[in-house]
Amino acid sequence: MERKIILHIEKLPEGFYLATSDSLQGLVAQGRTIAETLEIARDVAKKLIESAEPNAGIKAVEFGDNFDYPLVVGF
């Protein structure tokens, strides 16, 4: 089952990217690129969800038939 978790990503002064989420408490991921940060955030989210109790209040929502996705392209 796939769920959608909203991430907040910011570029740190040191050049790294930091991802956090209001949807999933405890999710913090840092990487050198946005892609690496997203990959780490996905792994952290899976582990947090797997270890959460059934009524933990995770705000992950199911995908609908249509959704927007920001495509990040480096050049």
Strand 3-4 to 8-11 pairing: unpaired
Question: What is the model's pTM?
Answer: 0.79
Q: Which residues in 3-72 belong to E strands, given as ranges?
A: 3-4, 8-11, 17-20, 28-31, 61-62
Predicted confidence at residue 5, as pLDDT, reads 87
Predicted confidence at residue 56, as pLDDT, reads 64
Predicted confidence at residue 2, as pLDDT, reads 79
Predicted confidence at residue 57, as pLDDT, reads 62
Q: Which residues in 1-75 belong to E strands, given as ranges?
A: 3-4, 8-11, 17-20, 28-31, 61-62
Indicate the SS3 state at residue 57: coil
Q: Give the pLDDT means over successive 10-residue stretches in the chain (75 positions).
A: 87 96 92 95 92 70 75 77
